[in-house]
A = this chain, B = another copy of it.
Amino acid sequence: MSAGRLTERALIGIARRRAGDVLPGVRVGIGDDCAVLEPRAGAPLLATTDLLVEDVHFRRRWTSPADLGWKSLAVNLSDIAAMGGRPRWALVALACPAETSLEEVEAFFGGALALASAHDVVLVGGDTSASPSGWIVNVTLLGEAATAPLLRSTARVGDVLAVTGPLGRSAAGLTLLELPAPPPAVPADASTDVRAAHLRPRPRLREGQWLAAAGGVTAMIDLSDGLAADVAHIAEESRVGARVDLPRLPVDESTRCVARALDRDPLAWATGGGEDYELLLACDSHALDRLTAGLALATGAVLSPIGEIVERKEGVRFVGAGGRDVQVAPGFEHFVASR
């Protein structure tokens, strides 16, 4: 192998070394035709997969290989979190251009494994390939539902809609990252904060598990496509309508600060931005206070009620400060799709 030249075996070697020794629940890890896993008897198995493509989901100008590794795992962890599950095993497929260095590949796996090990997830398999253009990552994550998994399709009319944290941070970060240079009007602290929210999202696993076990939550989804799109997903799958009160959306000071400096509307980021990876849930209105207090105690997360599940015929509505319906832009559009 010439210096710096990537081969499939070199990539497998990196992935395998980084995956560590054999661990509980893994009979055979990387290096055979399949991973051989030992699920807990009786536990429903959760499976999710996400494909990240350069210049669609990220740009290498502002995404380091370690950030990409982290995020490719984070977006899948968030799907497990949305069902209240426990993540266990990851399969990572990576394609990169011939000129990619081994150091970059090491850094990619370093980022992915840092987040994986924080959640006791073992890398058990994958695939590696050349790519004729940019980086391509596909992560499949398997997990177990500790209790009955929370679905998108089970919200009921009268339920409260609530989110586990502030919205629009990731979109504020993306807006800054896409600018040719950091604008001097944006304070460094706020800029660092929202860019990190976009590059290294923290999936709400503990929150999801606590909420699934607490009782009273009727439906849940993670906020990946943007609030407007994800409320619509719950409404469609549950065959209900929804009303979101825009003044109640939690938007933190970093996001507001960046919005002011750039003369942008933080509510547009909060509703249409996507990739916040907070959880959106529907719950029995009588359970809201108990859930809010319990979640804060158990995880530190602040549950914010933002609206209500209504009859299907009312559709999905966003209501502004004056009580009037507001048109919100559709959810997150990828770079390529929005051209």
Contacts and interface: CB of A to CB of B under 8 A. Distances in A.
Most buried by B among A33, A42, A125: A33
B95 A34 contact: no
A55 to B, nearest CB: 5
A312 interface: no
Given A56-B129, A98-B336, A130-B56, A34 B138 contact: no
Interface of A: 7, 27-28, 31-39, 41-42, 44-51, 53-57, 78-80, 82-83, 85, 89, 91, 93-95, 98, 124-127, 129-134, 136, 138, 140, 142-143, 145, 149, 151-153, 221-222, 237, 334, 336-337, 339
Nearest to A38: B44
A205 B280 CA distance: 42
B39 A45 contact: yes
Given A33-B83, A133-B134, A138-B138, 4 more contacts: A32-B152, A34-B149, A41-B41, A140-B140
B125 A48 contact: yes
Nearest to A140: B140
A45 B38 contact: yes
Contact of A136 (B53, B143, B153, B237): B53
A39 B46 CA distance: 10
A48 B47 CA distance: 13
A35 B339 CA distance: 32
Nearest to A91: B49
Contacts of A27: 44
Contacts of A339: 98
A130 B80 contact: no
B222 A136 contact: no
A25 to B, nearest CB: 9
A149 to B, nearest CB: 5
Nearest to A42: B41
Given A138-B93, A140-B49, A339-B98, A36 B83 contact: yes
A239 to B, nearest CB: 12
